[in-house]
């Protein structure tokens, strides 16, 4: 009979572990969902900001300098300086 009690105790312990894992899985799912929602919000904010900035640039006639444009200009400037110093 004592062996049955040991197995019963082990079954209870395994049930508690399964319950904890189930709750943790639910929390992880909620966290992933929350991150996805925040990612969507950030994307919408960035899109709105970019659209707003483009409208403002169009209104003022100012050109918009992107990172790619700045890198290209810096590369050409470095090449020109290198040729002059040669």
Distance CA 21, CA 15 (A): 10
Distance CA 78, CA 63 (A): 22
**Given this model, what pLDDT does residue 1 score?**
45
**Given this model, what pLDDT does residue 18 score?**
92
Distance CA 58, CA 17 (A): 61
Q: Domain total for the chain?
A: 1
Give the range of the structural domain holding residue 41, as residue numbers without chain letter. Answer: 2-85
pTM of the predicted protein model: 0.42
* 10-residue mean pLDDT series, the chain (86 residues): 66 90 86 83 83 76 71 86 77
Q: What contacts 62, CB < 8 A, 6 or more positions away?
A: 56
**Given this model, what pLDDT does residue 17 score?**
92
């Amino acid at each position: 009979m004592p062996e049955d009690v040991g197995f019963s105790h082990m079954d209870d312990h395994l049930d508690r572990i399964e319950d904890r894992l189930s709750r943790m899985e639910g929390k992880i799912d909620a966290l992933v969902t929350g991150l996805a929602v925040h990612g969507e919000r950030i994307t919408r904010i960035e899109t709105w900001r970019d659209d707003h900035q483009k409208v403002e640039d169009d209104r003022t006639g100012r050109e918009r300098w992107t990172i790619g444009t700045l890198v290209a200009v810096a590369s050409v400037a470095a090449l020109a300086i290198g040729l002059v110093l040669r």
